[in-house]
Structure 1
Amino acid sequence: MLAADHCRRPQLSVGHAARVPPRKTASFGPGASGAERPRAFPCCAGGKVLDVERTSLVAETLEEMATDEDSKKLAQQLQARGQAALTREERRARQRSLESLGAPAFQSLLQDHGVSPMLRGQAKILQLNIGLYCNQACSHCHVESSPLRKEMMDRETAQRCLHLAQEAASNGALTTLDITGGAPELNSQFRYLASGARAMGLEVIDRCNLTVLLEPGQEDLVPFLAEQGIRVVASLPCYTPDNVDQQRGRGVFERSIEGLKMLNAAGYGKEGSGLQLDLVYNPNGIFLAPPQAKLQEAYKQELQDLFGISFNRLFCLNNMPIKRYADYLLRQGQLGEYLQLLVQNFNAAAAEGVMCRDTVNVSWDGRVYDCDFNQQLEMGIRLPGKPVNSVSVCDVESLDELTGIKIAMDNHCYGCTAGAGSSCQGQ
């Protein structure tokens, strides 16, 4: 499959593309021969950002969740059995599938391939998941964010995170504060954290879903990001409407394009501006992310030709077989097929560069993890004398205390070591 084929070009009429509910599988492969390219939406015509009424996506997302049978079933299961029980069941399902494939334990595979010991190095990146509230409810979301989630980081925890960042930055080790969610911008601590870290001279990454830029009350968000020189890493799993709306919800593509236009107008993605805009691609099917370089070329051409949009880099990430994506795979009877794909494409070189080696991840409540995936599976960093999954930012005086600790691993880790590799920083 060619790189460009990962983002199928459907035939579209002028105006809004047909929209379908999220959590459904799109068709894949090249578009029909001679298929017409989709044209720019009216609000983006001529490469200009036109004034549009700001309406929240929250109501539409909640409506979709209320009418989607899969979402309703999951909500009932969560209420009846609790998140911890469902997480354990999900892990057992992965393990059963791997055993039926005759796949080795992940740790054994690392040893067989001579991968260096999975120990934490000195932290270069402090990643904060500051809350699970989001205006979207994407079908692949590994943190199961939605407008129904209320978990949010408070000021006390945010202050402690900045204290640890300051200490780590002062010795020259820490370079980056990576802020994610949910939609992190909708947390009251986002601007406090971002501006505080920038004042320390740290790079700050905002993992942005783009539609948040159009939410009422966020009119000054783009100017804030630009003034602070914050790097924006934005989700855009395709450059055509059908795949994006299927994965991320009705109307998300149109709003995402509008958000990108706003960022470009502020200088993001423009040569010489110093304002970096990166996009994130993840597959909408049972296949691995393609090599970044080839798909980046296609993204740059298509977004420029269709909408006059420019950006700096494209990150290609594999979908992790956990949470909503695991639920989807189980419903489709494809969990074993996807895990087999991950195992067969294990890449020892990718294992040497996984993010957990130099990243400390912190949850909204201050607990500390090796990565955002482990956070969602309640697999906390382990310190001697501390109960499992209990270590928080209040238990350490320096991020250096975590150096040399064994990284927590399990059967989901195949997702980061398949193909060209996959982590929050790309391949």
Structure 2
Amino acid sequence: MLSLEELNSLDGVSYFEENISDEDVKKTEKILQTLQVNIGKKCNLACKHCHVQAGPNRTELMSKDIMKDCLVVFKEQGFSILDITGGAPEMNPELMWFIEEATKIAKKVIVRTNLTILKEEEYKHLPEFYAKHKVELVCSLPYYTAKDTNRQRGEGVFEDCIDVLQKLNEIGYGRNPELILNMVYNPGGAFLPAPQASLEEQYKIKLKNQFDIDFNQLFTITNNPIGRFGGFLKRSNNLERYMDRLCSAFNPSALKGMMCRTQLSVSWDGSLYDCDFNQAVDLKVEGENSISMLKGKELSQRKIKFGNHCYACTAGAGSSCGGTTA
């Protein structure tokens, strides 16, 4: 496994924070919009690019008590978006309760799904449940062809994703303006994604013409050199080359749009991080670093913790859970 210490000490790679001259950019915004909650690392897939190293053998799942703490802090601090992720969040048995309670207080509830989980008998009811509660779905589909998707995520994954997307379209997702269906593209290797707008156009044309599938937006996310992908880079002797690519593509215009500036990330055990990538390398926020510690307290502006993995969020057009940032 590749550690953050190794990334931060690579020869020829300047420490990321040295690129930031604006002290305000090193801090969060005064008012945060998104509480992103990872409710477990258990997943039915073990994707090659997964930075949290989720998979079928993981057992970590957020408890209902921690979810309650998240909802209390969400309301107290005036967050507007609850972004639920995993693992496969569907594999947490408290997901439906969490969504039902969250939709009472949040302007928007997002669930990040790998799609394939919704084909399994235990979870086939969830698309209708999502639609009833107007949950915004962010779906991982690494490419619009079977060959490229299955190489990254496993045999048969693309076909299952298409079946689920067609089902989601049938109940209104991607077609009813109240039921938002967004896609996520991750590169299949150690390279930067193509421009988001042009790739979105390709996805829409290919998926519509071949499968009659509609969706709202495509988000391109640069593979972060940590977790399972970081391990691949290290084993294949591609780490230095990939980091050089990220550093060479560093874009100062992407700094202000980094997702760590407008969100707070909560892990399955209630620990707090500046973002999902910091969560993957266990780089906790400064100050109060568990969700239970924030109850009844004012969330103050804080200094963000950086590492050389942050180059992935500022290369090219920038990268975040909501796509490009510059």
Normalised TM-score (structure 2): 0.96
Give the aligned residue type for 1:127: Q
1:117 maps to 2:117: no
Please point out which of 2, 6, 18 is paired with 1:108.
Answer: 18
Preserved CA contact (<8 Å) 2:108 2:136: yes
Residue identity over aligned pairs, in percent, reads 41
| Aligned counterparts of 2:207 and 2:297: Cα–Cα separation in 1 | 40
1:222 maps to 2:127: yes
SS at match of 2:66: helix
* Residue 399 (structure 1) shift: 7.3
User: Any unmatched runs of 5+ in structure 2?
Assistant: none
SS at match of 2:320: coil
Give the aligned residue type for 1:392: S
* Residue 194 (structure 1) shift: 1.2
* Within-5 A mapping of 1:340-359: 340-359=244-263
* Within-5 A mapping of 1:183-194: 183-194=88-99
Deviations 1:390-418 (A, max 9, x none): x21111125742x3211011111101000
Tell me what 2:7 maps to: 94
| Aligned counterparts of 2:203 and 2:297: Cα–Cα separation in 1 | 37
Q: Which consecutive aligned stretches of 4+ in structure 1 deviate over 4 angstroms post-superposition?
A: none
Rg (Cα) greater in structure: 1
Preserved CA contact (<8 Å) 2:190 2:223: no
| Aligned counterparts of 2:116 and 2:297: Cα–Cα separation in 1 | 34
* Residue 333 (structure 1) shift: 0.9
Normalised TM-score (structure 1): 0.73
Preserved CA contact (<8 Å) 1:115 1:348: no
| Aligned counterparts of 2:277 and 2:150: Cα–Cα separation in 1 | 24
Please point out which of 175, 179, 182 is paired with 1:275.
Answer: 179
User: Any unmatched runs of 5+ in structure 1?
Assistant: 1-85
Please point out which of 216, 219, 224 is paired with 1:315.
Answer: 219
Tell me what 1:292 maps to: 196
Deviations 1:57-102 (A, max 9, x none): xxxxxxxxxxxxxxxxxxxxxxxxxxxxx4xx523432343x2x2x
SS at match of 2:318: coil
Tell me what 1:163 maps to: 72
Tell me what 2:147 maps to: 242
Please point out which of 128, 139, 152 is paired with 2:61.
Answer: 152
Preserved CA contact (<8 Å) 2:82 2:106: no
Please point out which of 297, 308, 312 is paired with 1:411.
Answer: 308
| Aligned counterparts of 1:279 and 1:163: Cα–Cα separation in 2 | 30
Preserved CA contact (<8 Å) 1:139 1:248: yes
Tell me what 2:36 maps to: 127
| Aligned counterparts of 2:3 and 2:274: Cα–Cα separation in 1 | 20
Preserved CA contact (<8 Å) 1:115 1:352: no
CA distance 1:164–1:95, shift in 2 (3 Å): closer
* Within-5 A mapping of 1:8-407: 86=1, 90-97=3-10, 99=11, 101=12, 103-111=13-21, 114=22, 116-121=24-29, 122-169=31-78, 174-270=79-175, 272-383=176-287, 391-397=289-295, 400-401=298-299, 403-407=300-304
* Residue 120 (structure 1) shift: 1.6
Give the aligned residue type for 1:330: K
* Residue 291 (structure 1) shift: 1.6
Tell me what 2:323 maps to: 426
Give the aligned residue type for 1:315: F
SS at match of 1:199: coil
* Residue 123 (structure 1) shift: 1.5
Deviations 1:304-349 (A, max 9, x none): 0110000000000100000110111111111011100100010111
* Residue 219 (structure 1) shift: 2.1
| Aligned counterparts of 2:106 and 2:61: Cα–Cα separation in 1 | 26
Preserved CA contact (<8 Å) 2:69 2:295: no
| Aligned counterparts of 1:419 and 1:371: Cα–Cα separation in 2 | 19
| Aligned counterparts of 2:65 and 2:315: Cα–Cα separation in 1 | 38
Preserved CA contact (<8 Å) 2:8 2:15: no
Give the aligned residue type for 1:148: N
SS at match of 1:126: strand
| Aligned counterparts of 1:273 and 1:117: Cα–Cα separation in 2 | 34
Give the aligned residue type for 1:144: Q
- More relative contact order, 1 or 2 (CA 8 Å, 6+ apart): 2
| Aligned counterparts of 1:293 and 1:305: Cα–Cα separation in 2 | 18
* Residue 284 (structure 1) shift: 0.6
Deviations 1:205-247 (A, max 9, x none): 0100000111121121110000000000000010001111111
Deviations 1:12-48 (A, max 9, x none): xxxxxxxxxxxxxxxxxxxxxxxxxxxxxxxxxxxxx
